[in-house]
Amino acid sequence: VKATATDPAGNISPPATQIVDAIAPAAPEIDPINGTDPITGTAEPGSTVTVTFPDGTTATVVAGTDGSWTVPNPGLNDGDEVKA
C-alpha cells in the first residue's frame, strides 16, 4: 500500500509504503489423537489456531515460532476427531 498526503497549498508528501500480508495461512495440521496426550499440531508460526472438539467447545492457541501448537486434551478417546 502506498499513501501520500496533500496539504491545503497543494504540496504532496513523498509516498509512504506499508506492506500488508494479504495471503491466508494454510490450514493447520493436527497430529493423531489419543486419550491421554495433549492435542498437538503445526500451523503458520504466530497464527491463531482454534480447535473445535466433538461436543462443540473450542480451545484457542497461538502457534509458536516453529509453528507448533498444543491444547489440553479434554478427555477425548483414541480416534476422536477435532477440527482446527
pLDDT score for 1: 64
Given a cut of 90, is residue 4 above it in pLDDT? no
C-alpha cell read off for 82: 477435532
Helix (H), strand (E) counts: the chain: 0, 7
Distance between CA atoms of 50 and 14, rounded to whole angstroms? 42
pTM above 0.85, yes or no: no
C-alpha cell read off for 78: 483414541
Kindly report, residue by residue over 19-69, the tens digit of the pLDDT.
777 788 889 999 988 878 899 999 999 999 999 999 999 999 999 999 999
Instruction: Output b/e per residue, 14-42; b: 16+ Cβ within 10 A.
Output: eeeeeeeeeeeeeebebeebeeeeebebb
- Chain centroid to Cα 23, Å, comes to 12
